[in-house]
Amino acid sequence: MPETLAAPVQRRCAQSGKYLTFRLGEEQFAVEILKVREIIGLMTITQVPGAPSAIRGVINLRGKIIPVMSLRSRFKLPEAEAHDRNCIVVTEVESHGETLEMGLLVDMVSEVLFIAENEIEPPPSFGETVDTSYILGMAKTGPDVKILLDIDQVVCEHGPLINQQAD
């Protein structure tokens, strides 16, 4: 996480459209459905030595090897015990002009819903304590607030994760 929020990177605007929502603990998040390739149940994740700590490891998806990132770890939330609602959301993200696939380990997947423009607000700023560069916006649908994620940023913030010192 950067120390300062100087000159935030080009932030994309949250747009209306279909989003996949999921939970991490009490919080709800949403990712543009177009970026989601598939959702699979938890399977054995092979650890890769030396990988950044947010990357749990890799899985075999029909013969293709895909890295899996723990979003809890990425957002520095405390780890939770695995349970049978855990899912891996396989996403396609853009990084430096290239497309790559990344599985996201989440507690539980909720639903696919349409979020309209008027339900979206820009992310609030919390000063230096919270990095919001990866938040597209906040959606208020019903009683809950959903955090709309810029998944490209989440996965590839500051360039390929491999260059960062493993926390």
Partner 1 sequence: MNSLLDQISSAAFLMMDVDGPDSSDLPELIAELQQIAQAVNSDAATDSHSAAGKAVLCLQQMGTVQTGADFGSVVRNVSRTLTALQAVYGDGRDWSEVAVPDPLLSAEQGETTVASEPSATASPADTPSESPDPELLALFLAEAAEHLESAEAALLQLEADPGDAQSIGAVFRSFHTLKGNAGFIGLPEVLELAHEAETVLDLARDGKLSLDGSAIDVALQCLDVFAEMLSALQQTAQTGQLPARNSRTDGLLVSLQQLARGDSPATTQSAETTPQQTPLADTAAPSVPSSASAERRQTPDRRATAVDAIKVDRTRLDRLINLIGELVIAESMVFANGQQQQTADSRNCSQLRKITRELQELSLSLRMMPINSLFQKMGRLVRDLSRKLGKPTTMIVEGGETDLDKTVLDQVADPLVHLIRNSLDHGIEECRKDRERVGKPAQATITLKAYHQGGNIYIEIQDDGRGLNRDRILQKARDRGLVGMQETPDDAAIDQLIFAPGFSTAAAVTEVSGRGVGMDVVRKNIEAMRGSVSIQSTPGTGTTITLRLPLTLAIIDGMVVRVGEQKYIVPTLSIVEQIRPRPEHLATVIEKGELIAVRGRNLPVYRLQELFGNHGPRRNARDSIVMIVEADKKQAGLLVDEIIGQQQVVIKSLGDLLEGLPGVAGGAVLPDGRVGVILDVPAVLQLAGGRRPAQVA
**Measured between alpha carbons, how far is 37 from 3 in angstroms, rounded to an integer?**
33
Tokens representing residue 49 in the block: 């030595």
Is 15 a residue that touches partner 1 (CB under 8 A)?
A: no
Which range of residues in 25-33, 63-71, 110-118, 135-143 is near partner 1 by CB under 8 A?
63-71
Can you tell me which of 51, 77, 109, 113 binds partner 1, judged by CB under 8 A? Answer: 51
Alpha-carbon separation of residue 67 from 1, 91, 118 (angstroms): 21, 11, 35
3-state secondary structure (DSSP) of residue 12: coil
The structure tokens listed for 91 are 């996403």
| 94 in contact with partner 1 (CB under 8 A) | no
Does position 162 bind partner 1 by CB under 8 A?
A: yes
**Residue 54, interface with partner 1 (CB under 8 A)?**
no
Q: Cβ of residue 100: shortest distance to partner 1, in angstroms?
A: 5
Instruction: Kindly tell me which of 15 and 60 has the beta carbon lying closer to partner 1.
Output: 60
Nearer to partner 1, 122 or 160 (CB): 160
40 by Cβ neighbours in 10 Å (0-12 / 13-18 / 19+) ranks as: middle
Q: Give me the least distance between CB of 38 and partner 1, in Å please.
A: 16
Report the interface residues with partner 1, using CB under 8 A: 44, 46-51, 55, 57-60, 62-67, 95, 98, 100-102, 155, 160-162, 166
